[in-house]
Structure 1
């Protein structure tokens, strides 16, 4: 019998925009030589009764039952190379189509059914895909053409304003010291691992959007583009 990553503490399923849902959960991992516990987010997009899971976070049974009332999980999408531990659980449980970018280190036993690429197919309509082209580890952003533009990001764009209930007390001081907590921030561990070049952000700045749902932090609703442009200028002077 397959062993899946266990369900860890998480919050409720929230409908943050019509047919777009958001869940905050927990992750433990080793970074820079020590164990960290912090929050991570899953986004769920519904179209015609089909659910697409992006940045998967395994839910507990009661929440899975609630998920099933929203629609049928049909697609699981991997947009960040540093996430994905819960992808096998959802793919196997629902027989879902698995999407990932070429070159991603997918979990053992998973087969990529559909490849994500700019200008290519996506699991739902009125959406487009942005690919970071200069990075060491594959990373992308899905833009949904609703509400003035909703960016669904993984580690590249973050909005960790403050620590939440899913952090442990040992991790918070370390992350505070390293300046992880910033509105409309860029992922510091992602920057370290992937080493993106300024030209990716020059392209990113051409995409209009109003909101951002990221793999870490709170939903950023309204004026998200302006906020991220300020951050990008601070990091890359573009």
Structure 2
């Protein structure tokens, strides 16, 4: 047995765009003094023969074998403070570089080897970084310059349409009450923790994108820009 958090249930690796892969799986945690079990997503971007993991989800042995057929895992990116459970597993297994935003606490004793900044070099050749500036905790979004613009988000942007097989009954009921299951949503718990201001979303709506792959929920394809702009306007008047 290794010393990393255990493998939780997850689905298959799906190629949602050429060289961009998406996996959904379970998450178990304690938030606000309550036990939660819900779904989360990992995105894997292939750049030449390199694989960059974003919002890590530990895969089973069979899942890892499938992942390794796709390329070499060279980098792990943590975009948000509320994720990071499985980062150490991937960094240790593959000797990967570990990228975090300034101010992100170490995850399970794992220290960043690279820093994410809007001006700096990123491990994906056609990526750029959007960094929230008004939040109480660091959070970022990657934009991949493919297919008209693809956003890869962590908790800030979500697209949960309905509870799935990875939810416990208690979490399903609680999260329905908290309005998690809203298309093109902003993460309700993230909003409480991060307390962002509208200025960030006024900047974010200026990005050109058509799709969004979030840390939670279904991929939002083709209409992501207009759908999230309507959410920003509804919630922040921008």
Q: What TM-score do you get using the length of structure 2 for normalisation?
A: 0.98
CA RMSD, Structure 1 to Structure 2 (Å): 1.0
- Residues 84-143 of structure 1: CA distance to partner in whole angstroms, max 9, x if unpaired? 010000000000011000100121332211100112111011110000011111000000
- Unaligned stretches of 5+ residues in structure 2: none
1:197 paired residue number: 197
- Give the distance between the partners of 2:171 and 2:111, measured in 1 at CA: 34
Specify the SS of the correspondent of 2:189. Answer: helix
1:44 paired residue number: 44
Q: What is the deviation of 1:34? A: 1.4
Mean CA deviation greater in 114-123 or 146-155: 114-123
2:230 paired residue number: 230
Q: What is the deviation of 1:2? A: 6.0
2:81 paired residue number: 81
Total equivalences in the alignment = 238
1:62 paired residue number: 62
Q: What TM-score do you get using the length of structure 1 for normalisation?
A: 0.98
- Unaligned stretches of 5+ residues in structure 1: none
- Give the distance between the partners of 1:99 and 1:164, measured in 2 at CA: 30
Specify the SS of the correspondent of 2:228. Answer: helix
- Give the distance between the partners of 2:21 and 2:218, measured in 1 at CA: 13
- Give the distance between the partners of 1:85 and 1:119, measured in 2 at CA: 27
- Give the distance between the partners of 2:228 and 2:56, measured in 1 at CA: 24
1:145 paired residue number: 145
- Give the distance between the partners of 2:155 and 2:171, measured in 1 at CA: 18
1:160 paired residue number: 160
Q: How does 1:176-215 map to 2 (within 5 A)?
A: 176-215=176-215
